[in-house]
Structure 1
Amino acid sequence: MKKYKTARESRVVISELMLPSHSNFSGKIHGGYILSLMDQIAFACGSKHSEAYCVTASVDKVDFLKPIEVGELVTMKASINNVGTTSMVVGVRVESENIMTGKVKHCNSSYFTMVAKNDQGKSVAVPGLVLENETAVRRFVRSIIRKDDAKARRDRFKASEFKLEDHLELLKEYNVKVDL
């Protein structure tokens, strides 16, 4: 295994035509189907980088920006954005193309944390990441900030440290009834 790899070495791109069997009750492509494809490409990218079997540890921020229609060609692009000791953040971009008009729309971008495993299921070290350009540095740093922000959110709302009275005023702006 190489000590360091570039994102380019592990990049994966897949395309699939969206069929009626992939649609939900409103006739749009089911979000769960898209998430499944995203997980598959994140697995492929992470496994390619680590040269090991990978499992999904977390998915950060899934926003469905635009609906995908039956008959559109969905293309997913995955690359390694960040690496730790045994984990990798895989950025996945989802685009759909109307194959009749050629119009392409960005439908989703998400970040999958993948952990490399050996045959016994133990986490194993992954190669470092060579940052070849400003975009690679930006993606790596953005992943660090996203991880720090997530930790701060978790810590801020630990049950043992949550103070109800600090948040009641905020709830007045929302469509809730506090009945304690």
Structure 2
Amino acid sequence: MQAERFVRESRTFKASHVLPPDTNNHNTLFGGKLMAHIDDVAAISAMKHARGPVVTASTDSVDFLQPIRVDYEVSLEAFVTWTHNTSMEVFVKIVSEDLHTGERTVCATSFLTFVAIGKDGKPTKVPKVIPETEEEKFLHQNAAERAEARKQRRMRSKHLADLLGTRRPWEPKE
């Protein structure tokens, strides 16, 4: 395994034409459809960095900033911003383009975490990431704080899952 990789080596792009079946009653892209695009492009980016299989550990955030209208192009750009031992933070920028006027808008941003999986099916080490551009350095410098926030949120989620349990509402309490 390579000890380090540049951010640019994981940079991945995806574009799609927004058609009526992809939209809601407001003629804007379904949020779930966009989230599927985000997970797909982010997973490819993580695989490029890890050079092997990955699994989505969490979708840390999806911030919808502007709607994406029918007959627009939605384009996504993803890249690894930070790595830990076996995990990678991936940033995705989502841009819409009015195909008639050429007007482009950043309409969403997202952070996801992926874990590299080895041949034994267990988490495996990933190379460190080297940011080069101002954008890459900006995202890299605060990544450890986001990782700590993810860790805290995961602990709260586990606690909540334990509190809620698996009992169906109609089943008696024990």
Report the TM range for the smaller structure's normalisation.
Answer: 0.7 to 0.9
CA distance in 2, matches of 1:155, 1:4: 30
CA distance in 1, matches of 2:116, 2:13: 20
CA distance in 2, matches of 1:69, 1:119: 42
Q: CA deviation at 1:8?
A: 0.5
**In the alignment, what sits opposite 1:176?**
none
Q: Compute the RMSD of aligned alpha carbons.
A: 2.1
**In the alignment, what sits opposite 1:137?**
137
Q: CA deviation at 1:62?
A: 1.4
CA distance in 1, matches of 2:155, 2:117: 28
Unaligned runs of 5+ in 1: 160-180
Distance change in 2, residues 1:31/1:13 (3 Å): same
**In the alignment, what sits opposite 1:45?**
45
Farther-moved stretch of structure 1 (150-159 vs 125-134) = 150-159
**In the alignment, what sits opposite 1:84?**
84
CA distance in 1, matches of 2:96, 2:11: 19
Name the SS for the 2:64 alignment partner: coil
- Deviation track 1:22-81 (CA, whole Å, cap 9, x = no partner) reads 112332110000000000001000000000111100111212111111110111000110
CA distance in 2, matches of 1:138, 1:3: 22
Distance change in 2, residues 1:142/1:98 (3 Å): same
Q: Are 2:42 and 1:14 equivalent residues in the alignment?
A: no
Farther-moved stretch of structure 1 (59-68 vs 49-58) = 59-68
The number of aligned residues is: 160
Name the SS for the 1:36 alignment partner: helix
Contact kept in structure 1, 2:17 and 2:71, CA below 8 Å: yes
Distance change in 2, residues 1:25/1:41 (3 Å): same
Amino acid across the alignment from 2:107: C
**In the alignment, what sits opposite 1:66?**
66
CA distance in 2, matches of 1:114, 1:155: 17
- Deviation track 1:88-124 (CA, whole Å, cap 9, x = no partner) reads 0000000000010000011111101011112332111
Farther-moved stretch of structure 1 (139-148 vs 39-48) = 139-148
Give me the TM-score of the superposition, normalised by structure 1. 0.81
**In the alignment, what sits opposite 1:29?**
29
| Structure ID, larger Rg | 1
Give me the TM-score of the superposition, normalised by structure 2. 0.84
Amino acid across the alignment from 1:22: D
CA distance in 2, matches of 1:67, 1:52: 34
CA distance in 1, matches of 2:62, 2:156: 22
Amino acid across the alignment from 2:146: R
Q: Are 2:59 and 1:56 equivalent residues in the alignment?
A: no
CA distance in 2, matches of 1:109, 1:127: 24
Contact kept in structure 1, 2:3 and 2:128, CA below 8 Å: yes
Amino acid across the alignment from 2:94: V
- Deviation track 1:140-163 (CA, whole Å, cap 9, x = no partner) reads 22221122234456668996xxxx
Question: Percent identity among equivalent residues?
Answer: 34
